[in-house]
Amino acid sequence: MPNLKDLKNRIESVKSTRKITKAMQMVAAAKLRRAQESAEEARPYTKRFNAVMGGLAASVGSSASAPRLLRGTGSDQTHLLVVMTSERGLCGGFNSSIAKLARLKAQELKSAGKTVKILTVGKKGRDNLKRDLGDAYVGHVDLSEVKRVGYVNAQDIARDVLGRFDAGDFDVATIFFSEFVNVVTQIPTAQQIIPASFETAEGESDGAVYDYEPSEEAILADLLPRGVATQIFAALLENGASEQGARMSAMDNATRNAGDMIDQLTIKYNRTRQAAITNELIEIISGAEAL
Amino acid sequence: MADTMQFDLVSPERSLASLQVTAVQIPGADGDMTAMPMHAPTITTLRPGLLRVESPAGNSDYVVSGGFAEIGADGVSVLAEKAIPVTEMTREHLDELIEAARAAQAAAQETKEEHHSLVDDATKLLADMEALGEHINL
């Protein structure tokens, strides 16, 4: 039987754990609001950009003059998986679900005889995939010093990816991130960025024929690399919001669990204390009766 | 004929302006152009430069870099990778931009000996930046 002192210590320690998780939950809630705001503010740009690119890509099509970023290299032998996760843990299944999706995809590609290369963004995913796919790592982007993800960060990653593409290191690039639906739902998502695919907006109806300055091809060649950065930026923002959402609900659960545990321990403490008192009373009474 | 049109200026990080305007002067890659209501639908890429917006409420200038402008039937939207209102523009900002352009040029010269266009682009960017600084008297 645990003695009273031990139980008391135990209750104190769980109480301080609860305080910490509660604080983390509130911090995550505040950060989530900010992350959601920046995701919201980035949306018009991404939407417009994709609409224009969709139109351009459709008109240039897959003709031989189309830039390689749109057309692809003509093969799909080597795949680059860009796995974007968080720098910090304690956010429930956020990192592991992204890593799981990436792992499945990598295994699928490998069994089809393709070569897989992995670029990790964020420490947690790197640690998570190291055992199975560590030999496929080609690079890592560290964002742990970054307080608030900006477009520059996305540009850096895009430059890295494009540099590898120009050097012929891979044929197809896919990014893995978590799409933010709401606080309790984040969907791990894979999105192909090279060759570029733009879902053509269904409202492409106004039928305006645009003049292009300079030529369509030149604009496309200028904008495609920016498109990669834009997509990565959007994914980073979604990821940021998802991470905070996942952390918030994970910490909410942890706080509740700690509360339950405190209740149980308190009952146990009270019972033990009562048992000790009863014991002492019995001893006193039976001592008195014996006289 | 409508004498104003919708104008939107958005950067990846936020939306900077959304208002009714009478004319927009765009620093296009092939030269400046002014878009007024009923302009023919055009898409042009941007060179780093000054974007001037004329609206009934007054004029405002923005420093923009990288991106494109879409002139459509219902208005003009400019998508710029970097956009800073001139009123918030400081010498430090410009120095930062010039520094970035200079670094890009150096990197281009170092790595891509065979890609002359890259070096030229970076050099042009640098020149554009410096011209811009003179233009807005910093």
Measured between beta carbons, the chain B residues lying within 8 angstroms of A218 are: 29, 45
Bridge partners (DSSP) of residue A211 are B42
Measured between beta carbons, the chain B residues lying within 8 angstroms of A209 are: 41
Residue of B nearest to A225 (CA): B67
Q: Is the pTM of this model over 0.90?
A: no
C-alpha A239/C-alpha A178 separation (Å) is 5
- Closest to A226 (Cβ–Cβ): which among B8, B42, B81? B81
Quote the distance between the C-alpha of residue B3 and its chain's center.
24
Measured between beta carbons, the chain B residues lying within 8 angstroms of A46 are: 12
Give B52-106 pLDDT, tens digit per residue. Answer: 999 888 888 888 888 889 888 888 989 988 888 887 777 777 777 777 777 767 7
Which one from A69, A80, A91, A196 is the annotated catalytic residue? A91
Predicted pLDDT of residue A244: 92
With CB atoms and an 8 Å threshold, state whether B81 touches A154: no
Residue of B nearest to A222 (CA): B45
Q: Nearest-CA distance from A113 to chain B in Å?
A: 33
Other CB atoms within 10 A of residue B109 CB? 14
Please tell me whether the interface predicted TM-score (ipTM) of this complex is above 0.90: no
Give A174-189 pLDDT, tens digit per residue. Answer: 999 999 988 888 999 9
**CA dist list (Å): B24 to A44, A215, A236, B82:** 20, 22, 32, 17
How many CB pairs (< 8 A) connect A and B? Answer: 80
Predicted pLDDT of residue A266: 96
C-alpha A92/C-alpha A242 separation (Å) is 11
With CB atoms and an 8 Å threshold, state whether A222 touches B45: yes
With CB atoms and an 8 Å threshold, state whether B29 touches A214: yes
Q: Nearest-CA distance from A211 to chain B in Å?
A: 4
**CA dist list (Å): B128 to A37, A91, B29, B101, B104:** 33, 46, 11, 10, 14
Is A91 labeled as catalytic in the residue annotation? yes
With CB atoms and an 8 Å threshold, state whether B79 touches A49: yes
| CATH for the stretch B5-86 | 2.60.15.10
Domains and CATH numbers, chain A: 39-248 (3.40.1380.10)
The full DSSP string for A194-254 is ETT--PPPTTTTS-PPPEEES-HHHHHHHHHHHHHHHHHHHHHHHHHHHHHHHHHHHHHHH
C-alpha A27/C-alpha A50 separation (Å) is 34
Find which of B5, B6, B11, B13 to mutate to test the A interface (most A CBs within 10 Å of its CB).
B13
What are the strands, taking DSSP E only, across A66-163?
78-84, 115-121, 137-141
Which segments in chain A show pLDDT lower than 70?
Answer: 1, 61-66, 198-208
Find which of B14, B30, B46, B115 to mutate to test the A interface (most A CBs within 10 Å of its CB).
B14
Predicted pLDDT of residue A65: 65
Give B8-40 pLDDT, tens digit per residue. Answer: 999 888 888 889 999 999 988 888 889 988 888
Residue of A nearest to B73 (CA): A208
- Domains of chain B, by residue range, sit at 5-86, 90-135
Q: Nearest-CA distance from A187 to chain B in Å?
A: 23
Q: Nearest-CA distance from B70 to chain A in Å?
A: 8
Q: Residue type at B97? A: L
Residue of B nearest to A49 (CA): B79
Predicted pLDDT of residue A174: 92
